[in-house]
Amino acid sequence: MKNKNDIVVDDELIARYLCGEAQPEEAEALTDWLEEPFNLAHFEKIQATWDVTFPSKGKVSFDKDSAWDALQHNIHSPSERSSFSLWFKIAATLIIGLSAGFLGYRLFQTDSAHSQISVATLKNTETVTLPDNSTVVVNRNSAISYLEGFGNDSREVDFSGEGFFSVKGDESRPFIVHTPVGHVRVVGTVFNVSSTRSGLEVNVQEGKVLVYTLTDSTYLEAGQSASLGAGKPINIVDSIDANQWGYATRKFDFQDVPLANVFESIEKAYPYTIEVANKDIKNCRLTASFDHVSAREMLNLIGETLDLTIQENDSTFRVEGKGCPWVQ
């Protein structure tokens, strides 16, 4: 079969192509030529010979559908390096509704009737209600972006930073969270996502989610946690520290936990820094539960229980006292 360039597809061209020596016109001609099943069979025999001489290299396949998902993400979320500066630039001209630490604005006006909505947080945590009434508690320094109204086939959001998702069940429209490193797909469930440019951690509180990248995927059930690094296989852990998402649930449950960890959990959930005057304080252990209690109240209670004094100064709490000896 000749094409407009009169390139003849013969075994020599096929060999050149497999070796990576084909010019673009030749690759194009070959691609056209392969549409004929007879030609494809012939090509595959030669390719099989080529493949078999380097067995550990293995056969490659390319998934256009998950590639499209990845492309969508790349297009809608500019690389994290530029993302916040991009948002700040646009926010200066397009702010709709502003309160301390909260930015909401429209981005990417497309031809279709719907625009892309993006929300970014700075110092505060914000609860975002999505078009399907699912909610996301977006932690500090995080961002979420989605198409207004979602679509008919899916509910997709782009996400970076940390967020606690409560997704309403909708069998007809899977809910997908896209992050730089991987994706999370659910029908309806409750889970936490912590995403950076190079890592992703997903913790499931209720229900079941599918976590996937271009090369790996796994189901996660309630009580499980997965962590992914770019290019590495997904690592699953069977226990969850629910205090990690205290920022969203406002619930903390400490069972004989060293104060070092307690303070970490509190610092994560609230925009405060906790300083200790004496490192032995961090060894003291706490057993207590808190539900919708302010950071100040939590620390005062901890102080009373463990004989420590708490001083508040701006957004820093200073803890003083004798502390406890270190115990394994």
Partner 1 sequence: MLHADVEIIKAIGKGNSVVFKQVFISHYESLCRYAYTILKNAEEAEDVVQSMFVKIWEKREGLEVKHTIRSYLFKAVYHQCINMLEHRTVKLKHQVHLTHELLAETQRPETFQDELEENIIAAIKTLPDQCRIIFMMSRYDELRYAEIASHLNISVNTVENQISKALKILRVKLKDVIE
Looking at beta carbons only, is 68 or 326 nearer to partner 1?
Answer: 68
Verify binding: residue 326, partner 1, rule CB under 8 A. no
In the numeric block, the tokens 């293995």 are attached to 58
Question: Residues 35-39: contacts with CB within 8 Å, 24+ apart?
Answer: 36/1, 39/1, 39/9
Spatial contact of 205 and 174, defined as CB atoms under 8 Å apart: no
Q: Which stretch binds partner 1 (CB under 8 A): 7-15, 131-139, 196-204, 264-272?
A: 7-15
> What is the closest distance, in whole angstroms, from the C-beta atom of residue 215 to partner 1 in the complex?
8
Give the span between the Cα atoms of 312 and 224, in whole angstroms.
37
Contacts with partner 1 by CB under 8 A: the residue count is 40
Q: Which of residues 15-44 bind partner 1 (CB under 8 A)?
A: 15-25, 27-28, 31
Minimum CB–partner distance for residue 31 and partner 1 (Å)? 5
With contact defined as beta carbons under 8 Å apart, do 218 and 226 qualify? yes
192-196-201 Cα angle (round to 5):
35
Per-residue x/- track, 59-78, partner 1 (CB under 8 A): -x-x-xx-xx-xx--xx---
CA angle, 187 as apex, 183 and 191 as ends, to 5°?
Answer: 60
Applying CB under 8 A, the span of 51-59, 276-284, 285-293, 308-316 interacting with partner 1 comes to 51-59
DSSP 8-state code for residue 168: P
Residues 99-138 within binding reach of partner 1 (CB under 8 A)? 110-111
Cβ-based nearer residue to partner 1, 33 or 159: 33
What's the per-residue H, E or C state across 52-79? HCCHHHCCCCCCHHHHHHHHHHHHHCCC
- Rounded to a whole number of angstroms, the minimum distance from the CB of residue 16 to partner 1 is 7
Binding mask 222-261 for partner 1 (x = CB under 8 A): ---------x------------------------------
Closest distance to partner 1 from the beta carbon of 218 (Å): 20
Nearest to partner 1 of 53, 172 (CB atom):
53
83-119 b/e (C-beta count within 10 Å ≥ 16 → b): bbeebeeebeeeeeeeeeebbbbeeeeeeeebeebbb
By CB under 8 A, residue 325 contacts partner 1: no
Nearer to partner 1, 2 or 322 (CB): 2
DSSP code at position 233: P
Quick one: residue 30, left, alpha or beta (phi over 0 = left, psi -120 to 50 = alpha)? Answer: alpha
How far apart (Å, rounded) are the C-alpha atoms in residues 72 and 303? 50
The phi-psi region of residue 158 (left if phi > 0; otherwise alpha if psi is between -120 and 50; otherwise beta) is: beta
CB of 106 to partner 1, least distance (A): 15
Is 55 a residue that touches partner 1 (CB under 8 A)? Answer: yes
CA–CA distance, 14 with 18 (Å, rounded to integer): 6
- Closest contact distance (angstroms) between CB of 241 and partner 1 is 33
Residue 174-213 contact track with partner 1, rule CB under 8 A, x = bound: ----------------------------------------
Out of 6, 37, 38, 52, which residue is the one contacting partner 1 (CB under 8 A)?
52
Interacting residue ranges for partner 1, rule: CB under 8 A: 11-12, 15-25, 27-28, 31, 45-46, 48-50, 52-56, 60, 62, 64-65, 67-68, 70-71, 74-75, 110-111, 214, 231
